Amino acid sequence: QVQLLESGGGLVQPGASLRLSCVPSGRAVTEHTMAWFRQPPGKDREFVAAIKRNSHMTSYKNSLKGRFTISRDNAKNTLYLQMNSLGPDDTAVYYCAATPQSLITSSLAGVRFYDYWGQGTQVTVSS
């Protein structure tokens, strides 16, 4: 069993940046395909970004490319999501997800392919 602990959410003004962190307990981040999803108010959970197991290959929701960056610090055993130029549409609960499986690229955005989920961290963008 892997527990994922997210942090870094908060209330920010439009145009600001935030960096979310996710630490898996007892397992190395490199041993899992890891991803960020988000759930806006009243909407379904949606894919944000993923990074493949034992690889630097990443995948993003098309509309977020260039603003959001997923990365992994192996020394700190931490997954990050750097979010820039935030707008009200980015308001959501952000979830870290992980699976020990090596997913093919077309599966990275699928909620059902991930075995472990964090509790979520709230990001609110408002003036």
pLDDT at 1: 81
Q: Which residues of the chain, if any, have pLDDT below 70?
A: none
Q: Using CA atoms, how far apart are residues 11 and 126, in angstroms rounded to an integer?
A: 7
Q: What is the pLDDT of residue 79?
A: 97
Residue 103 tokens read as 């997913």
The per-residue pLDDT for 118 is 97
Helix (H) or strand (E) holding 32, with range, is none
* Cβ burial 12-33 (10 Å sphere, 16+ → b, else e): beeeeebebbbbbeebebeebb
Give CA–CA dist 59/54, Å, rounded.
14
- The pLDDT value recorded for residue 28 is 84
CA 21-49-31 angle, 5° bins: 65
